[in-house]
Amino acid sequence: MNDLYSLKWGTAHDSRQYGLYDMITNRIVITYHEPHILEFVSNLFSSRVDLKLVNLSTAENFTNNLIDNTCCMNWTVSNHIELTSIRSGLRINSKIAKAKKLIKSDTTIDFSLLEDTSPYLQYCLATVVWFDDNIKNLISEYTGIQELTYKDYDYLFQNIFLELPFQGNQSSQLGSLTKMISDRKKVFNIIYNEFDFDIAQIKCNEIINQY
């Protein structure tokens, strides 16, 4: 897998940036430019913390380089009270809150509450993006389908045994694709169920490092 630190910055892309907000600490705990990626991360962590998906780029004071993953836990949103009423849900059903204003908070918080969660979130983001990109690339390489949207290849994940326009050895290509999809599921099950980050990282890396 690509170096985790290649993803840690979480800066805006094409003036788009989203974050996951934690009500307990009243902080943005991680950012990325694709909402479906963060929503999946939120779902994987739903067994331990309730994270709300927020569109940071709607804030009146938003700029591309204002917040990234090296400093986001120093920031909150002005309308954070509204976020508490948003119900978390599955990717296609959940609501994306709109930040009104981004606020750098001087209030001291107990960061020990996030001591284990923060690096785990960073690792989770890296694994989700890695599988997201690699499966999409395999489908593109094997079928010639270009510029897949998240909706397109998420559908293919669920219907992989339907006939696809494979351009080479269908049996071999389908085997490679289904193996990666299966490994994706194994890794995400580990992240969802294993609360100890060190143990989860070892287990997940054993699977990912095969590639």
pTM for the full model?
0.83
Where would I find the beta strands (DSSP E) of the chain? 18-22, 27-32, 51-55, 75-77, 97-98, 102-104
Q: Look at residue 79 and tell me whether its pLDDT is greater than 70.
A: yes
Same structural domain for residues 75 and 94? Answer: yes
Same structural domain for residues 94 and 135? Answer: no
Q: HSE on the CB side for 207, CA within 13 Å? A: 20
pLDDT of residue 62: 95
Same structural domain for residues 80 and 150? Answer: no
pLDDT of residue 113: 60
pLDDT of residue 1: 56
Domain ends where: 110, 130, 148? 110
Structural domain containing residue 132? 119-208
Beta carbons within 8 Å of 145's beta carbon, 6+ residues apart: 139, 152, 165
Q: What is the pLDDT of residues 170-179, one digit of tens each?
A: 677 778 888 8
